[in-house]
Structures are given as C-alpha cells and as structure tokens.
Amino acid sequence: MISLSRSSFRKGMTLMEIMVSLAILSMIGAMSWTALGQTFLARDALEVQDGVRQQARIALERISRELATAYMSGNITTPNTYKTVFVGKNEDPVDTLWFASLSHHRIYRDSRESDQTELTYWGEPDPDDRNTYVLLHREAPRIDHESDKDGTILPLAYGVQRLDFKYLDPKTNEWEEEWDSTGIDHPNAMPRAVRVVLVLEGPDAADPDKTAEYAYATTVMLEFSNEMSSSAFATGSENAVTAPAPGGGRQFPGGGLGGGVTGASRGLPGSSR
C-alpha cells in the first residue's frame, strides 16, 4: 500500500508557472486566431470573386442572346410603322447601345406581346460606390426607337468599371467604335458582329483588402445582318451589302403597325466565347 505524506498534497504550481502557462496559451491562441482570420478573409474574397464571375457570365449571356437576334425592319416608308434602329455610342466608361430584337419571352398567357422588343444598355454611377457603375438594361415590348421611353429597367451588373462595344462593318471588314443606322455611314443597316468587353471590380486574389479589375469578353454574330464582303475593296452586286442573301430570306412579323422585317437565316452561331 502506497502511503502519501501530507507535504505531497500541499505541493502545487507556483504563480510564476501559472503566468508562463497563460502566456504560452495566449501566444498559441493569437497565432491560431490570425491563421483562422486569414483563412476566413480568403474564403470571403473567393466568394466575392465567384459572385463577380457569375454576374459577368449572366450579363454576357443575356447580351449575347439579345444581340444575336437583333433585326431591322425593311419597311421604313410604310405609314404608321415603328422605326427600328441599331445605335451604339462610344461613351466613357460605359458605352450605350439600343436596338430592336426578337428575343422577348412572353411570361403571361394570352398577353398582347410578341417576340419583338426594344432593348437599351447604358451605365449610371453606383449610389453605393461612386467609383463604379451599374449596368442598366431596359426592355420595352413596343418598339418606338426612343431609348429612354417606356419599358422595364433593371440592373444587369454592379461594380462595372468599363463596358465597351465594337461593331464589325460587313462592308469594310473593320471594327468600329460607334454604329448609327440612322446616319449616312450605315443607313438602315446593322453590323455583322458585336464585340463586348465587360470589366468588373472585385477583390484582389493576392490581397483581399484591395480591389482588382476583371475583364470578360465575347463576340456575338448577328444572325439577321448582311454577309461579310469577300474583300474590304470588293465591289459589285455579289459582294455588296445590299445584295440578297443566298437561299432567300425568312419572314418575321412587322415592327409595330403594318411593318415587316426580312432576315436571311445564315446558320451561324449566336455567340462565340
């Protein structure tokens, strides 16, 4: 049988030992908290980056889908016909673009709507962050070639640093900064393709406390535009943009009262990424 003396029970930790132990535990806790804090910051930054990527993907997919079916009515002289336009303005830092499209989806049954719609993209300063812009999207079921009238306006993307549209001229095979179907350079005509560059602000992967710019781009082929010229200097009816497309055309309901649009089906993809 083991006998223990009274002195062995009285022996314990001294005040110095307790202070040293507490200091060690405090150091371990501080190191652990710092490591966990950096992990949480990195996780939050990755979540924000994923949100930026998803926002850019959704915005570009919608822009691509709507641009791919852009059209212009050929009956511009018919009385009481709504005039379709394709106008893109080069503005800093967010370009403005409005056009008519066949991309409208009817939501309510028996509603007096068709697939025709008038769309506008433009940017305004973000009220919560004056260093960035909000990309706005307007969709109007009635085509009236007025970019700021009627329709539903919704935000398409936040944290926008830049939105740039470039337009491929089917006559010269060159990219242009602006397009105006109401002007003398491109009367009642659309570009063959539109290049879209969207730059969003997000957290820096190297330093979550800082921000960085993330650029996303796509090129959209317009299904109902004129074919490209075989050469930038080509002349003659075979290569002129006014020549009829091979294989005939496909008829669509008119833009408004009594209007109509003829667009050739090219069999080209709506967009390429």
pLDDT in tens, 239-248: 333 333 333 3
pTM over 0.75: no
Q: Is residue 234 part of a domain?
A: yes
What are φ and ψ of residue 176, in 5° steps?
A: -120, 150
Q: Is residue 219 part of a domain?
A: yes
Higher pLDDT, 254 or 163: 163
Q: Is residue 195 part of a domain?
A: yes
Domain extent at residue 153: 45-106+113-272
Kindly state the percentage of the chain with pLDDT values over 70: 67
Angle at 57 between CA 53 and CA 61, to 5 degrees: 175
Q: Is residue 226 part of a domain?
A: yes
264 close to 245: Cβ distance less than 8 angstroms: yes
Q: Is residue 131 part of a domain?
A: yes
pLDDT at 75 over 70: no
Domain total of the chain: 1
Mean pLDDT, residues 223-247: 50
Q: Is residue 244 part of a domain?
A: yes
Q: What is the mean pLDDT of the chain?
A: 75
Q: Is residue 79 part of a domain?
A: yes
Q: Is residue 192 part of a domain?
A: yes
134 close to 128: Cβ distance less than 8 angstroms: no
Return the residue matching tokens 């397009």: 179
CA distances in angstroms from 194 to 78, 81, 177, 200, listed in the order given: 29, 27, 10, 19
Structure tokens that stand for 5 in this block:
């003396």
Q: pLDDT value at position 212?
A: 86
Higher pLDDT, 12 or 95: 95
Q: pLDDT value at position 222?
A: 95
100 close to 85: Cβ distance less than 8 angstroms: yes
Q: Which of 127, 126, 175, 119 is nearest to 150 (CA)?
A: 119
- When mean pLDDT is compared across 47-56, 80-89, 106-115, 178-187, the lowest value belongs to 106-115
Mean pLDDT, residues 241-268: 33
Give the model's confidence band at 203: pLDDT under 50 very low, under 70 low, under 90 confident, else very high.
Answer: confident
271 close to 231: Cβ distance less than 8 angstroms: no
What are φ and ψ of residue 161, in 5° steps?
A: -95, -35
What are φ and ψ of residue 116, in 5° steps?
A: -80, 140
- When mean pLDDT is compared across 34-48, 149-163, 200-214, the lowest value belongs to 34-48
The rounded distance, in Å, linking the Cα atoms of 107 and 124 is 28
The rounded distance, in Å, linking the Cα atoms of 134 and 119 is 16
